[in-house]
């Protein structure tokens, strides 16, 4: 689950960078950090905690929203569990 959330975080940030026309360097400047800090998280070298995610979101001017979606479970597994 944590891996999925980390990937979703990276996707969200990268999508916002594209939408805003920003580079990682611009994001780092907005956050007041070195560009390597941003790259470490967006490359998956480090997993951001909630405090780090908040820094990213504030700099981007977005607020995250938690959503859930049903997953497709193969019929065989569902039937076996009954």
Whether the predicted pLDDT of 82 surpasses 80: no
- Tens-place pLDDT, residues 28-66: 999 999 999 999 999 999 988 889 999 999 999 999 887
Position 81 confidence tier, pLDDT thresholds 50, 70, 90: low
Q: What is the pLDDT of residue 5?
A: 82
Q: Which of 39, 37, 53 is nearest to 2 (CA)?
A: 53
User: How is residue 43 written in tokens?
Assistant: 């490359």
Q: What is the pLDDT of residue 43?
A: 94
Which domains are assigned to the chain?
2-60 (1.10.260.40)
Q: What whole-number distance in Å separates Cα of residue 56 and Cα of residue 80?
A: 43
Q: What whole-number distance in Å separates Cα of residue 76 and Cα of residue 66?
A: 30
Cβ contact 59:27 at 8 Å: yes
Cβ contact 10:41 at 8 Å: yes
Q: What is the pLDDT of residue 21?
A: 97
């Amino acid at each position: 689950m944590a891996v999925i959330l980390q990937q979703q975080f990276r996707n969200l940030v990268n999508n916002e960078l594209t939408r805003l026309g920003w580079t990682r360097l611009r994001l780092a400047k907005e956050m007041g950090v070195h560009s390597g800090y941003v790259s470490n998280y967006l490359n998956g070298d480090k997993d951001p905690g909630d405090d780090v995610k908040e820094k990213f979101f504030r700099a981007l001017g977005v607020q995250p929203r938690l959503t859930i979606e049903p997953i497709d479970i193969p019929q065989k597994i569902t039937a076996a569990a009954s």
